[in-house]
Structure 1
Amino acid sequence: MTAAETTAQPTDAQPADGTAPAPALALPTIALLGAGAMGRAILSGLLAPTVEVDGPIRVTNRSAARAAELDGTPGVTASATDGDPEANRRAVAGARVVLVAVKPSMVVDLLDEIADALEPGAVVVSVAAGVTVATFEEHLPSSVSVVRSMPNTPAVVGRAVTGISAGTRSSDDDLALVRRLFETVGTVVEVPESQLDALSTISGSGPAYVYLLIESLTEAAVQKGFTDAQAAELVNGTFAGAAELLVASGKTPTELRIQVTSPKGTTERAVAVLQEAGLPELFGRATDAALARARELAAG
């Protein structure tokens, strides 16, 4: 086979007839209320080439400047509530899925604002930490279903772990639709709502725990004479490589740790210090504290 013949062969991305590949995922009309960090991370997944959304995604935000940042983005119409009091109601009219990604303190007022503008059969998805399904359902008509979600910040790079929980009015189809939506930014775990706050203390807050460990190990490297740039390269590369190996190997963290920890070696001595400091118990206390705070938020 010649080079020219090789080039002419169809690929997975290019059908034999030369037409554009079909999207891997089709989603219905979507409104995204709130264009903060998490809202934009979800939006980036929805705008991936493999995703086809029915009509432009209607995005609203309080700030005109923030809405203007999305001007000209293909597949998006953005508006600001500061200059257009009807922006939220117009965004949700006719939308099959409505993502509520505003700050928790703003949720109830927003739900009251959009309640009678929602289409019967719409699925309202909470992306607001600590706000319960009961709160959403109390402020929305019975013709609308609710699904609560807890994504995390790696959604920005398509590596989120998102927890989702069904509401009392949501169907299996509703939950499957929300699962497909969040799979555009990573993996999805379905749990009862009673477990969602606990999930938030693991995957939701988890990136912060990892960054704190990276900060601490980087500082240790600097103290041992490495420059800031060298320390960052050593530590960031080590964390990234270790995480990738964990995924690729199919082994447990314990198995991989034992592989690195030679008997009577340097790593064994270091790990012993961390274990003597009660690291597992410390993570237990930290996640308990996060869970207590989540319950405080849920209680208002």
Structure 2
Amino acid sequence: MKLGVIGCGKMGSALIGGAIRAKAIEVSQVIGFDPYPAAAEAFTSATGAPTTAELANLTDCDTFLLATKPQTAADALHSLKESGVRDAALVSIAAGLTIEWLEKHSPEGFRIVRSMPNTPSLVGKGASAFARSSHANDNDAAFASKLLGSVGLAVEVPESMIDAVTGLSGSGPAYIYLAIEALTDGGVEVGLPREQALQLAAQTVLGAATMVLETGRPPAELRDNVTSPGGTTVAGLASLEKTGFRNSLIRAVAAATARATELGKG
């Protein structure tokens, strides 16, 4: 396999760097394309792979990662089409671009896998989903799973669920950052220094998430293990329920999903 990376920004660099570290792909199998020297240099620094400023130099690739901004994807794919490339796999991480759109703009015979990684992929803790076109085969899906899984969790879903993934794990880090910020402010309000409050809040979120993933036990059961009758936790939980914490998160996922659908239609 020869992988051409179209767009050498932070997410593309993170994915390829993670895949190389996980031995899902060899450095010698990768070449990156980016017209901006700074991005190309950063990509090579992060991955060890070479880059080019000409898409035509990717013609010997049989697999591509589309990691451009959505608004520049059409031009990149058009240039790739003009270079004569045919019958390859394309994994796209360009937000909002549907399989139908990607098939329309890609070279003839391209097998499309659309994915939705999130920003914690940059630190190897991503939560990603991908959907394949009717023409993509099991090998294409396996490669997407290995690539995305090298920087966190990767699951395959029907494309109809990608907007829901966007609303949950794509936008979800922002909800958790807000929660960490609020927990920190709460700690400061009751007397903790801000730096210590922030460290405690962030580590608490990390620890709770790790408990869910590593024990496999339902969050409700883990929550009950922390909640003693008449204790401090039940008082805090009662306050959260009174102010609509649970419903606010549910509505946030629903609102972000609806917005992702709107943007996809636009």
Alignment TM-score > 0.5, same fold: yes
- Say yes or no: does 1:94 pair with 2:67: no
Asked which structure has the greater CA Rg, the reply is: 1
3-state DSSP of counterpart to 1:55:
helix
Of 272-281 and 146-155, deviating more is 272-281
3-state DSSP of counterpart to 2:182:
helix
* Aligned residue in 1 for 2:187: 221
Inter-partner Cα distance in structure 2 for 1:118 and 1:203: 37
What are the superposed Cα offsets for residues 61-111 of structure 1, whole Å, 9 maximum, x if unpaired? 2321222234466640123xxxx4xx22323x1212211111111112221
- Say yes or no: does 1:197 pair with 2:163: yes
* Aligned residue in 1 for 2:106: 140
Inter-partner Cα distance in structure 1 for 2:84 and 2:125: 31
Identity across aligned pairs (percent)?
36
Out of 146, 149, 164, the residue aligned to residue 183 of structure 1 is: 149
Asked if 1 retains the 8 angstrom alpha-carbon contact of 2:66 and 2:94, the reply is yes
Inter-partner Cα distance in structure 1 for 2:103 and 2:222: 45
* Aligned residue in 2 for 1:247: 213
- Say yes or no: does 1:35 pair with 2:2: no
Asked if 1 retains the 8 angstrom alpha-carbon contact of 2:8 and 2:43, the reply is no
* Aligned residue in 2 for 1:60: 33
3-state DSSP of counterpart to 1:99:
strand
* Aligned residue in 1 for 2:249: 283
Inter-partner Cα distance in structure 1 for 2:147 and 2:22: 14
* Aligned residue in 2 for 1:274: 240
Give the root-mean-square deviation of aligned CA atoms: 1.9
Inter-partner Cα distance in structure 1 for 2:103 and 2:262: 20
Residue 118 of structure 1: CA displacement? 5.7
Structure 2 unmatched runs, 5+: none
Aligned residues: 266
Residues 71 and 130 from structure 1, CA distance in 2 versus in 1: closer, same or farther, beyond 3 angstroms?
A: closer
Inter-partner Cα distance in structure 2 for 1:74 and 1:105: 25
What are the superposed Cα offsets for residues 265-295 of structure 1, whole Å, 9 maximum, x if unpaired? 1111110111122222212221222112212
* Aligned residue in 2 for 1:50: 23
Higher helix share: 2
- Say yes or no: does 1:165 pair with 2:131: yes
What are the superposed Cα offsets for residues 216-267 of structure 1, whole Å, 9 maximum, x if unpaired? 1001111222112211222122122222222232211100101111111111
Asked if 1 retains the 8 angstrom alpha-carbon contact of 2:16 and 2:47, the reply is no
What are the superposed Cα offsets for residues 188-242 of structure 1, whole Å, 9 maximum, x if unpaired? 1111101111111111111111111001100111122211221122212212222
Inter-partner Cα distance in structure 1 for 2:47 and 2:127: 26
Question: Which gives a bigger RCO, structure 1 or 2 (Cα 8 Å, sep 6+)?
Answer: 2
Asked if 2 retains the 8 angstrom alpha-carbon contact of 1:94 and 1:118, the reply is no
What are the superposed Cα offsets for residues 127-153 of structure 1, whole Å, 9 maximum, x if unpaired? 011110001101123311111001112
Structure 1 unmatched runs, 5+: 1-27
- Say yes or no: does 1:78 pair with 2:44: no
Inter-partner Cα distance in structure 2 for 1:145 and 1:281: 40
Inter-partner Cα distance in structure 2 for 1:72 and 1:238: 33
Inter-partner Cα distance in structure 1 for 2:115 and 2:47: 26
Residue 56 of structure 1: CA displacement? 4.2
Of 115-124 and 216-225, deviating more is 115-124
Inter-partner Cα distance in structure 2 for 1:76 and 1:243: 34
Inter-partner Cα distance in structure 1 for 2:250 and 2:205: 22
